[in-house]
Each structure stands twice: as C-alpha cells, then as structure tokens.
C-alpha cells in the first residue's frame, strides 16, 4: 500500500491530504512544496513527470534555440576574427543534444519526487467526486484536490494536423531534417521561436499572423523591433493576414490566406496557441465552473467547488511554466495554512526566446495609459547601442521603461540578445514597486547588459549618462 494510504479493497479509496491531477510544472511544484510542509501527497500523471514544459515545451525548444545560436555564431564567425565554416545541421546530433538535456532533467525530477515520499500514480485520472480522483478503477481521496491537467497544441476549425506536412510544435521537435521552407501559422511566442530556429538552420520561413503584429501580447515597440530584426534575418512576416485553407502539393503544402494569395512551402507549422486539457476529466460533472474549457478560480486559486483548486494552463491567463510553478507553490502553502499573498499576474515575467529575444514584465505603455491616464504615465527608451556588452555581442535592441509620473516603474520591456536573462532584475523592480530613484544608486557590474537597466533608470531619475536627450 502506498505511503499515506488507508487499507481497503481495490477501488475503495486511498486517502491523502492532497491529490494532484497532473504532474507538469504546476502539479509537481505543488506536490514538492506540500510534501515539504508535511502533507501526504498523491500525484497523478498519465505520461511523464514534468509535463509539457519539460518534455515537449520550454526545455526542448530552448535547447533547439541554443543550437540555432551556435549555428549563427559559426556562420558569422568571421566578423569576430574567427575563421570557421558551417558545414551543415546534423538534426540527429541536434536531437541527441536536446533529448539529453530533457533526460537529465527528467531523472533529476523523478529522483526528487521519489525522495520526498510522494505517491506517484501512473495513469489517466478523472475527477469522480469533489474529493476523489479515479485512476484505472482505483480511487484516491484528498482533503483537497488540485487540478493541474495542462494544455494541448490547438489547431483551427477545418485545419487537419497530420504530423507529416502539417505539424504542431510537438511534431516539430522530432523532425529528423531541416525543411527547405516552412510556413508558420501564428506569430505568437511559439511561432516566433520556431521561425527563429528554422531560419538559423537555413530554412526559408514565412510567418502568417491574423493580428496586426507579431507577439501581440507585448508592447508595440517590442513587436516592431522584432519584426525589423526578422526582416533583416530574411524571415517574412505577413501580419494582418488571416489563414483560409491549406492543401497538399507534390512537394509540400500550399496555404491560402485572406485575399486569395497562396504561399507554398515544404511544411506548415500550426502555432495558434494552446487549449486547456480538461475535456473528459469529469470537471463539468462535478459542477466546476468552466469557460471554453478553462477552469475559473478566485485569486486564491479556489474553484467554485469547496476543496478543489486549479493551477497552470487550465486557469485563464498567461500560459507559462513559471506561472504554473508559482501557483502550485501557492496552493501547497494555502493548504498548509501559511496564508500566502495572492500572485500578481502582471508581475509574472514573459520571454520570447527568439533571435533577438523579447522580454517584459508589468504593463505595456498602452495598458498603463488606459489604467492611469495619458498625463499620468511617462516612458523612457534606452538603446542597447550605448551598452558595452551589447556592442561586444553585436546585438541591437532597447530597454523601455514605463512609469507612473512621480511614482513606481509599472512596466519593463526589452529586446535584444540574452535580454531574457535581465528579466530577473526587472521583475524585482516591478514587484517591489521601485521608483527610478530607488534603482539609480544601485551598482551594476561592467561590462554587462544589466547596465542597460541601470542606465535606463538613471535617465528616468533625471541623471542621464549615455542617453541622448
């Protein structure tokens, strides 16, 4: 019998303090923290610990992006005085590297969960009562149940994904060759990241996006900077262009867009977002309030059904692994009676790991002006051209600050190589409601890109050094 369970016949029910349905970022974080706080935990997962992020999301895609960076560095090595030749991309080698990263992290996570005494239940779980998850006929009863069933790659009505010519991001991660040409349907984070990878590997890439700009959730200035950079790299971005249909050809696919234009390519990647994985899991039957498949919660991540919580991609909002992770920690601490502070969704950092990277936290300029009024908001943009490390890296971009006049910084937006590594300081600035005058005296190491954040705050505090007024 599993640790923390009660004796009884098969199907009678094993009892825990918390039963978690799904072992992705939100589920396993909740399990680890709850166990650490002395709670008895059952963690139900139909596939592998780590979920989408570890196996078919964040980790493997970022490994591909690093391989793409190595390819670009090799191709452009002469500008640094290094003579090197890019002979080609060995996708078998790339995939071996990528899969090795995933395997090592998976082994580490598996060992960590096992070492905490968490009962891992392998199989597809279903909520059959407000306090019960059933797996293969066996019931696991919890004082609380946490729904963490994650998300899936969406498609569009009438658009059939076959896994050969028409792919989702999961199919794209297992390609054994570099396609000659690709159409990426969707100019959000996933679409832009894969477009960036494939272009670095040598493919011709066209992004088709119905919205007026790429990464539409970011500040407009960031979108424009990314589009300019993509144009320079030879990536075609057709924004404001709705998809109509796709047909197979002898050599690949032909996509028809609004207006009747057609685009031919070897492959079509469908990157139109992710939907909540909630269908058929019993949520509706137990009376949980849903909206288009998403589970609705209050700020303490409670559903409308007592004792049932939800975390991660099934909760409306940013579908980010670190959001789910933090929500999992929050629920574990809530169940342990620690009364944690609610998570400020606006304070969650966002990163698109393309080349160049786009990173942000807080409000964009438009949202800040809508919330506080035009006269109550000011912005400052610091060009990375004035940053020594950015010159060394030969990257272009900016740090844009949005603040309330005579008040705190309410948004930080960055574009450039490696700016995702700067978002840690940026989220502290936002979440601690720092004023520019609070940040200006802080010493940033030289030469680093972190200095760009420091210089931007110096300028916004009225002490500009390398900023042209």
How does pLDDT run across 96-147, given as a tens digit for each residue? Answer: 999 999 999 999 999 999 999 999 999 999 999 999 999 999 999 999 999 9
Is 192 annotated as ligand-binding? yes
Is 100 annotated as ligand-binding? no
Please determine, for residue 18, whether its predicted confidence score (pLDDT) is greater than 50: yes
Please determine, for residue 10, whether its predicted confidence score (pLDDT) is greater than 50: no
* Identical fold, 166-272 and 356-461: no
Would you identify the CATH topology of the domain 356-461? Enolase-like; domain 1 (3.30.390)
Is 190 annotated as ligand-binding? yes
Number of Cα atoms under 13 Å in the Cβ half of residue 398: 19
Is 209 annotated as ligand-binding? yes
Q: Which two tokens stand for residue 298?
A: 């209050």
Mean pLDDT of 364-390: 97
Residue-level pLDDT at 33: 98
Residue-level pLDDT at 107: 97
Residue-level pLDDT at 463: 82
Yes or no: domain 166-272 corresponds to CATH 3.30.310.40: no
Residues 16-55+94-153+275-336: name the CATH superfamily: FAD/NAD(P)-binding domain (3.50.50.60)
Which residues, 6+ apart, have CB-to-CB distance to 425 below 8 Å?
Answer: 450, 453
On average, the pLDDT of the chain sits at 95
Is 188 annotated as ligand-binding? yes
Please determine, for residue 166, whether its predicted confidence score (pLDDT) is greater than 80: yes
Residue of 143, 132, 122 lying closest to 43 (CA atoms): 122
Please determine, for residue 4, whether its predicted confidence score (pLDDT) is greater than 80: no
Q: Per-domain residue ranges for the chain? A: 16-55+94-153+275-336, 166-272, 356-461
Q: Kindly report, residue by residue over 411-447, the tens digit of the pLDDT.
A: 999 999 999 999 999 999 999 999 999 999 999 999 9
Q: Which two tokens stand for residue 362?
A: 């807080």
pLDDT category of residue 174 using cuts at 50, 70 and 90: very high
- Between strands 357-362 and 377-383, the pairing is unpaired
Mean pLDDT of 222-228: 98
Please determine, for residue 14, whether its predicted confidence score (pLDDT) is greater than 90: no
Mean pLDDT of 70-93: 97
Query: Could you confirm whether 446 is annotated as catalytic?
Result: yes
Please determine, for residue 3, whether its predicted confidence score (pLDDT) is greater than 90: no
Residue-level pLDDT at 11: 45
Please determine, for residue 306, whether its predicted confidence score (pLDDT) is greater than 80: yes
Q: Which of 171, 177, 322, 446 is catalytic?
A: 446
Is 343 annotated as ligand-binding? no
Q: Kindly report, residue by residue over 83-94, the tens digit of the pLDDT.
A: 999 999 999 999
Is 191 annotated as ligand-binding? yes
Mean pLDDT of 310-325: 98
148 to 21, 41, 291, 339: CA distances (angstroms): 5, 14, 16, 21
**What is the chain's alpha carbon radius of gyration, rounded to the nearest angstrom?**
24
Is 186 annotated as ligand-binding? yes
Residue-level pLDDT at 465: 73
pLDDT above 70 covers what percent of the chain?
Answer: 96
pLDDT category of residue 466 using cuts at 50, 70 and 90: low
Interhelix angle 450-460/423-431, nearest 10 degrees = 40
Residue-level pLDDT at 464: 77
Is 189 annotated as ligand-binding? yes
Residue of 330, 331, 339 lying closest to 143 (CA atoms): 331
């Amino acid at each position: 019998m599993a640790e923390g369970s009660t004796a009884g016949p098969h199907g009678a029910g094993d009892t825990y303090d918390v039963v978690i349905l799904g072992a992705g970022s939100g589920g396993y974080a909740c399990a680890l923290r709850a166990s650490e706080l002395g709670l008895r935990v059952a963690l139900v997962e139909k596939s592998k610990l780590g979920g989408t992020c570890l196996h078919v999301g964040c980790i493997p895609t970022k490994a591909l992006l690093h391989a793409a960076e190595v390819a670009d560095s090799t191709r452009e090595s002469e500008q640094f005085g290094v003579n090197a030749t890019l002979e080609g991309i060995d996708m078998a080698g790339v995939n071996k590297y990528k899969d090795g990263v995933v395997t090592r992290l998976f082994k580490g996570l598996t060992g960590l969960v096992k070492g905490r005494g968490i009962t891992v239940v392998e199989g597809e779980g279903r909520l059959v009562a407000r306090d019960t998850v059933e797996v293969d006929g066996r019931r696991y009863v919890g004082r609380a149940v946490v729904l963490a069933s994650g998300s899936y790659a969406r498609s569009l009505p009438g658009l059939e994904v076959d896994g050969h010519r028409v792919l989702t991001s999961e199919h794209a991660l297992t390609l054994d060759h570099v396609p000659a040409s690709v159409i990426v349907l969707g100019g959000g984070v996933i679409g832009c990241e894969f477009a960036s990878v494939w272009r670095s590997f040598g493919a011709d890439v066209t992004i088709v996006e119905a919205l007026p700009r790429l990464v539409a959730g970011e500040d407009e200035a960031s979108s424009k900077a990314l589009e300019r950079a993509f144009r320079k790299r030879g990536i075609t971005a057709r924004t404001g262009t709705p998809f109509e249909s796709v047909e197979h050809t002898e050599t690949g696919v032909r996509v028809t867009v609004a207006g009747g234009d057609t685009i031919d390519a070897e492959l079509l990647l469908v990157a139109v977002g992710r939907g909540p994985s909630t269908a058929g899991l019993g949520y509706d039957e137990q009376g949980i309030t849903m909206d288009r498949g998403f589970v609705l919660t209050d700020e303490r991540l409670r559903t409308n059904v007592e004792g049932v919580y939800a975390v991660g991609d099934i909760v409306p909002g940013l579908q980010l692994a670190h959001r789910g992770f933090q929500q999992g920690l929050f629920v574990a601490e809530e169940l342990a009676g620690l009364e944690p502070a609610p998570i400020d969704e606006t304070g969650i950092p966002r990163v698109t790991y393309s080349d160049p990277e786009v990173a942000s936290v807080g409000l964009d300029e438009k949202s800040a002006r809508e919330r506080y009024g035009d006269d109550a908001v000011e912005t400052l943009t610091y060009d990375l051209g004035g940053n020594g490390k950015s010159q060394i890296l030969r990257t272009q971009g900016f740090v844009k600050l949005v603040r309330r006049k005579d008040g705190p910084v309410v948004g930080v937006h960055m574009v450039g190589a490696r700016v995702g590594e700067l978002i840690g300081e940026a989220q502290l600035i936002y979440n601690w409601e720092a004023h520019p005058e609070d940040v200006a005296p802080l010493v940033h190491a030289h030469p680093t890109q972190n200095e760009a954040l420091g210089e931007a705050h110096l300028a916004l505090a009225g002490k500009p050094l390398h900023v042209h007024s």
